[in-house]
Amino acid sequence: MKVCKFGGTSVASSDQIKKVAQIVKTDPSRKIIVVSAPGKRFGSDEKVTDLLIQLAEKALRGEDTEIEFKEVVARYQQIAAGLGLSMEIVSVIENDLHGRLANDVNDANLFMDCLKASGEDNNAKLIAAYFTHIGMDAHYMCPKEAGLLVNERPERVRALPEGDDQLAQLRDKPGIIVFPGFFGYTTDGTLRTFNRGGSDITGSLLAAATEAELYENFTDVDSVFAANPNVVDNPVGIDKMTYREMRELAYAGFSVFHDEALMPAFRRSIPVCIKNTNNPEAPGTLIVNERNYFAQPVIGIAADSGFSTLFVDKYLMNQEIGFGRKLLQILEEEEIPFEHTPSGIDNLSVIIRSKFLNADKEARIVRRAKEELNADHVHMHSNYSMIVLVGEGMRHSTGLAARAASAIARTGASIQMINQGSSEVSLVFGVHKKDETKILKELYAEFFLKSAVLSN
């Protein structure tokens, strides 16, 4: 039994949904189908989720929402017409939206969640109706009825294992189940949406709970690439990679799969395959527990920008018990998570995503570090990028860090920070944002173009 998730571009139009139906029909083991809200049909198009956010914002301000409402309904109407469906399904969607808009607006976050989730929910109803229309035994499944439980606020939303037993029963239900991604319900029936990659998380959760043989994640690319194709010309595709490798690449900016979405599948050792809705015959990228890493120690290179560095220097810091804990406690009290903590004997740097900072917080953190830690020097710098080399085979390769550093040196850029995790699956270089693109290209040439030439 397989769980399949189809992303926004895969369900953006009637033509795309017809492809989805054909993919599902060709493999009877594709039992649970998780769908996103309709995405962009072309470059300048708007996602339905973005239209719903605009609708919710107007409603929260108490403004007239007729234009935005009609815009959302029109997208579904166009899809339904292209699929040859009666307008009955459009009326169902229209009534659903009216009901959501009538909800209490005093809690802006819950109201916004409810409106956003309608994108996936109504698209699942429409796709189930189309599957039935063409003779497939398909049924829409509401996450609340299925038992997809999430935690209460104010914590960041996450699925609760208490719902797994009920979700597992989906495996035995007759026909094809069409399941909306992106959201679940608390035990008291409150709807909450997942964070980035929400539909991916739903698919992974269902694959884990039902102990699927495979979780297929359909998107608009043939595979995961070794580097960003918007930066590197024609990067090689990755045939097979491990969960750890995908997690590291997703963390560092690979947009194919959000890193959090892998966790449920990883915990149950469910293989994940990234496939292309527009080219379903392509083998895609298989994500598994283990792979043969000897042929290619570095499997991918990623880059992500928007980082800041907090640098703290104090003579004899290494002899001061609790220094690191006290510094991180300051960040905790300021509600700021950190990414890396490279250190020397007398200094410690903390890498932070800049989005968690503002001028006031930066000034307060610097002041507190100086005063509370009696530090000699404290400063904060921004506009950094993190370049990450990822590969299970890196721990078994000698001279790899030297090769990477030499490649960066050839670009004329300077390295601001180097950090290698204890698992040695990734090697991180902190560089100035302005140097990111040329470094990424040079590293790709070093580890993929040069390696290809040497192997031949």
Q: What's the mean pLDDT in 198-206?
A: 91
- Checking if the pLDDT of 82 tops 60, the result is yes
Q: What is the CATH number of the domain that holds 36?
A: 3.40.1160.10
Q: Return the percentage of the chain with pLDDT > 90, whole number.
A: 79
- Checking if the pLDDT of 435 tops 60, the result is yes
363 and 451 belong to one structural domain:
yes
Burial class (CB in 10 A: 0-12, 13-18, 19+), 429: buried
- Checking if the pLDDT of 191 tops 80, the result is yes
Whether 195 maps to a domain, the answer reads yes
- d(CA 297, CA 396) in angstroms, rounded, equals 8
pTM given for the model: 0.86
Q: What is the mean pLDDT of the chain?
A: 92
- Checking if the pLDDT of 384 tops 50, the result is yes
Whether 46 maps to a domain, the answer reads yes
pLDDT of residue 344: 87
Whether 288 maps to a domain, the answer reads no
Q: What is the pLDDT of residues 320-335, one digit of tens each?
A: 999 999 999 999 999 9
- Dihedrals phi, psi of 427, to nearest 5 degrees: -130, 120
Among residues 182, 205, 220, the one where a domain terminates is: 220
Instruction: Domain of residue 366: give its range.
Output: 300-455
Q: How many domains in the chain?
A: 2
Q: What is the CATH number of the domain that holds 305?
A: 3.30.2130.10
pLDDT of residue 456: 47
DSSP string over 361-394: HHHHHHHHHHHHH--SEEEEEEEEEEEEEE-GGG
Cis link prior to 154 (omega < 30° from 0)?
Answer: yes
Question: What is the layout of strands, in order, in the sheet containing 300-313?
Answer: 347-353, 300-313, 377-390, 426-432, 417-420
The single residue listed with the structure tokens 């298989």 is 286
Whether 271 maps to a domain, the answer reads no
Q: What is the pLDDT of residues 53-68, one digit of tens each?
A: 999 999 999 999 999 9
23 and 154 belong to one structural domain:
yes
- Checking if the pLDDT of 166 tops 80, the result is yes
Q: What's the mean pLDDT in 340-368?
A: 93
Residue 405 corresponds to which amino acid? Answer: A
Q: What is the pLDDT of residues 295-324, one digit of tens each?
A: 778 999 999 999 999 999 999 999 999 999
Fill in the DSSP letter of residue 434.
G
Whether 176 maps to a domain, the answer reads yes
Confidence label for 180 from pLDDT (cuts 50, 70 and 90): very high
Q: Return the percentage of the chain with pLDDT > 70, whole number.
A: 96
How many Cα atoms sit within 13 Å of 377 on the Cβ side?
A: 9
- d(CA 450, CA 456) in angstroms, rounded, equals 10
30 and 167 belong to one structural domain:
yes
196 and 319 belong to one structural domain:
no
* Three-state secondary-structure class, residue 419: strand
216 and 312 belong to one structural domain:
no
Q: What's the mean pLDDT in 104-128?
A: 96
- d(CA 335, CA 75) in angstroms, rounded, equals 40
161 and 28 belong to one structural domain:
yes
190 and 307 belong to one structural domain:
no
Assigned token pair, 205: 């959760």
pLDDT of residue 389: 93
Among residues 220, 241, 269, the one where a domain terminates is: 220
Q: What's the mean pLDDT in 3-23?
A: 97
Among residues 199, 220, 241, the one where a domain terminates is: 220
Whether 280 maps to a domain, the answer reads no
- d(CA 203, CA 281) in angstroms, rounded, equals 21
Q: What's the mean pLDDT in 83-93?
A: 96
